[in-house]
Structure 1
Amino acid sequence: MERFPWVEVFRGLAILEVVLHHVTGRFLRELAPESPAWFLLAAANRTLHFAVPAFLFMTALVLGAGLLREFRLGRYLKNRALRLFWPYLLWSGVYLAFRHWDHGVFQPERLVHQLLWGKAYFHLYFLAVALQLTLLLPLFLPFLRRRPHGAWFLLLGVGLTLLVYFLNRHYRFLPYPGSFVLWYTPAIVLGLYLASRLEHLPRLLRLWPLALLLAVLGLWGYLPLALDVLRRLPVNTFHYQAFHWLFTTAMAFLLLALAFALARTPLRGPLAFLGRYSLQIYLLHPMVLRLLEKYPGFPEPLGLKPAFAIYLGLALLLPLLLARLLARARVSVAVFGR
């Protein structure tokens, strides 16, 4: 997929969304609950809550297209082990040690549980889900090779999503639904559909006005419920999830359309640079935010707006600097798998 510049541009946009989401979440604690400023920042935070489905959408698209082009199981698993499984294990260990230093908490009896569900630190669940997706995708290969009509993809996405939701609602077999790959079925199936028709991607992306309409509809239903959740009010969980699936899947498509357009502009360079180091930023930025929060002598006295900008800048720049230094030292593969 290296010949498609929009892949890295998409990842650059997505990692900006991740960092913004986490920084807005950090500063919600600085505002008076339910004040106008709190509602504005909370709405921005919940609207920026589509990064994991977006990254899984792109992973399904890239890996699905690669599987259709050539599939050798041994090579596929070896590549995924280096690029995903090893960084997940290593950084789970790093964050377990960091959490022990930060909070004095270490529970060896929960280690297997934490690794299975991505709970060594709050953001690592994405890598656990991505690993599950890696194992799941080859099972879809016979389906993809037949290039079925889009209606079959729609039926698969909706049917499997509802099946998982209602099974979990009645049997509670998922302790953390967000750490289970099939919880993101709509975005994954959309990625597989586009992978099966990659040659028609420019034409398919012209449907972005429809995706925008669906995203607005999804946000209209999801955002009030999400704000109620932040305020610890009861909500209808099915309505919350249905609107969230609609919103996040449509946003993943819109992000791809935007990346495709920006890949032909001067912004391609800086966004692709961010995308190239998106995993490194993803892994490191929560530690930067926590260290800034733990030692609040700087930059909080400067005021909310300057502090917000400094948090955002450092959360991007410090991981980028470390990633570049490790790449120059030729140890990046050992630390980040790439």
Structure 2
Amino acid sequence: MERFPWVEVFRGLAILEVVLHHLLGRFLREVPPETPLWFGILALNRTLHFAVPAFLFMTTVVLGVALGRGMALGRYFQNRVLRLLWPYLLWSGVYLLFRFLDHGAFQPERIPHQLLWGKAYYHLYFLLVALELALVLPFLAPLVRRRPHGAWFLLFGVGLTLLVYFANRYLYRLPYPASTLLWYVPAVALGLYVASRIEDLPRLLRFWPMALLLALVGLGGYLPLALEAFQGRPVNTFHYQAFHWLYTTAVAFLLLFLAHRLAGGPLRAPLAFLGRYSLQIYLLHPMVIRLLEREPTFPEPLGLKPAFLIYLVLALFLPLLLAHLLVRARLSPLLFGR
């Protein structure tokens, strides 16, 4: 981590995207439907829809480098897998209780299903997918060590992605495809490639204009379909997914380029601070948003822009404050695995 200061900067950028994405979805309900402002918020919300692939990409890079350099599997499973499993189970229980207190509904018979698919609350599926990634990466580590040509990583990413898509469509329909690691193969394949060339990262990052072009092509195809799908209109699901995979994978690379550049500037400290506590922010900010939403007299009556800013500040500040207090009380490993 000390050798790669851009890791925490990357996570800081990604967690800002997460919070903004969820806040835009919240405030979409505050404006009249199908007005220019509504379409603008919706378009920005759909554009900021790359956090999970981005986080999985960076996790693949970090763990891929560790495994590629011979990290012992016992230590790996203790330090990585268990650090994901415990927070996932704990916070699934916390949010099941929160959901009961919020809505008064509790269905114990659905708990196995919710844990299997990360549905104890809408954002917890990421921890499940990250856990699946941590379990699978030791089997993919030889790709990092042998450093095959980049074409093999491209073939692996595109080939397996197409196989998963058509298998899901014609053989067995997963109830929640995005709650499985198989739906994020392009980001994982790119992460493996970067991990295998980590010493050549500055040279790799010179390809950022190509990534920008691919991201624009992907967004140009994905965004109109996303707007149509949000309004309940039928879209071509293959085109939707293909463009989204292209867009999110290219943006993950662009975030790496941006993080690498910012790691040498004045924004490194605040972004790295956010990145250091990105898990805590990720886990807690939906609860903050929901609690604010339950209070109709504040802050929405202040106006759209002030209310949005208040939501943003509190959704970041309150989890950071709690995380800091838990670190000082030495309870952070118990609640967050770190």
Determine helix, strand or coil for the equivalent of 1:295.
coil
**Separation in 2, partners of 1:35, 1:95:** 34
Verify the 8 A CA contact 1:60 1:137 in the aligned structure 2: yes
Q: CA deviation at 1:104?
A: 1.1
Q: Tell me which residue corresponds to 2:118.
A: 118
Q: CA deviation at 1:295?
A: 1.2
Q: Tell me which residue corresponds to 2:318.
A: 318
Q: Tell me which residue corresponds to 2:16.
A: 16
Q: Tell me which residue corresponds to 1:272.
A: 272
Q: Tell me which residue corresponds to 1:27.
A: 27
**Separation in 1, partners of 2:296, 2:15:** 25
| Residues 176-215 of structure 1 mapped to structure 2, 5 A cutoff | 176-215=176-215
Q: C-alpha deviations, 1:275-305, integer Å up to 9, x for none? A: 0000000000000000000112110110111
Verify the 8 A CA contact 2:143 2:196 in the aligned structure 1: no
Q: Tell me which residue corresponds to 1:281.
A: 281
Which has the larger displacement, 74-83 or 5-14? 74-83
Q: CA deviation at 1:2?
A: 3.1
| 2:178 matches 1:174 | no
Q: CA deviation at 1:32?
A: 1.1
Verify the 8 A CA contact 2:53 2:187 in the aligned structure 1: yes
Structure 2, unpaired ranges of 5+: none
| 2:302 matches 1:305 | no
Q: TM-score, normalised by structure 1?
A: 0.99
Q: Tell me which residue corresponds to 1:229.
A: 229
Structure 1 vs Structure 2 CA RMSD: 0.8
Q: Tell me which residue corresponds to 1:135.
A: 135
**Separation in 1, partners of 2:30, 2:23:** 11
**Separation in 2, partners of 1:230, 1:86:** 34
| Residues 253-268 of structure 1 mapped to structure 2, 5 A cutoff | 253-268=253-268
Determine helix, strand or coil for the equivalent of 1:94.
helix
Q: CA deviation at 1:80?
A: 2.0
Which has the larger displacement, 106-115 or 313-322? 106-115
**Separation in 2, partners of 1:20, 1:284:** 14
Verify the 8 A CA contact 1:12 1:278 in the aligned structure 2: yes
Verify the 8 A CA contact 2:12 2:274 in the aligned structure 1: yes
Name the amino acid aligned to 1:324: H
Verify the 8 A CA contact 1:15 1:281 in the aligned structure 2: yes
Q: C-alpha deviations, 1:181-215, integer Å up to 9, x for none? A: 01000011000000001000001001000000000
**Separation in 2, partners of 1:81, 1:239:** 34
Verify the 8 A CA contact 2:19 2:312 in the aligned structure 1: yes
**Separation in 2, partners of 1:111, 1:164:** 27
**Separation in 1, partners of 2:187, 2:141:** 17
**Separation in 1, partners of 2:311, 2:145:** 46
Name the amino acid aligned to 1:318: L
Q: CA deviation at 1:79?
A: 1.0
Verify the 8 A CA contact 1:289 1:311 in the aligned structure 2: yes
Name the amino acid aligned to 1:54: A
**Separation in 2, partners of 1:60, 1:173:** 27
Verify the 8 A CA contact 2:81 2:134 in the aligned structure 1: no
Runs of 4+ in 1 over 4 A off after TM superposition: none
| Residues 68-83 of structure 1 mapped to structure 2, 5 A cutoff | 68-83=68-83
Q: CA deviation at 1:170?
A: 0.6
| 2:149 matches 1:149 | yes
Distance 1:136 1:81, change over 3 A: closer
Q: CA deviation at 1:82?
A: 3.7
Verify the 8 A CA contact 1:174 1:180 in the aligned structure 2: no
**% identical aligned pairs:** 75
Q: Tell me which residue corresponds to 1:85.
A: 85
Determine helix, strand or coil for the equivalent of 1:29.
helix
Name the amino acid aligned to 2:229: V
Q: CA deviation at 1:141?
A: 1.7
Determine helix, strand or coil for the equivalent of 1:253.
helix
Name the amino acid aligned to 2:38: W
**Separation in 1, partners of 2:9, 2:143:** 29
Name the amino acid aligned to 2:20: L
Q: Tell me which residue corresponds to 2:218.
A: 218
Q: Tell me which residue corresponds to 1:334.
A: 334
**Separation in 1, partners of 2:319, 2:186:** 31
Q: CA deviation at 1:81?
A: 3.7
Which has the larger displacement, 169-178 or 13-22? 169-178
Determine helix, strand or coil for the equivalent of 1:143.
helix
Name the amino acid aligned to 1:40: G
Q: C-alpha deviations, 1:89-127, integer Å up to 9, x for none? A: 110000000000001111111111111110000000000
Name the amino acid aligned to 1:317: F
**Separation in 1, partners of 2:297, 2:70:** 54
Q: CA deviation at 1:228?
A: 0.7
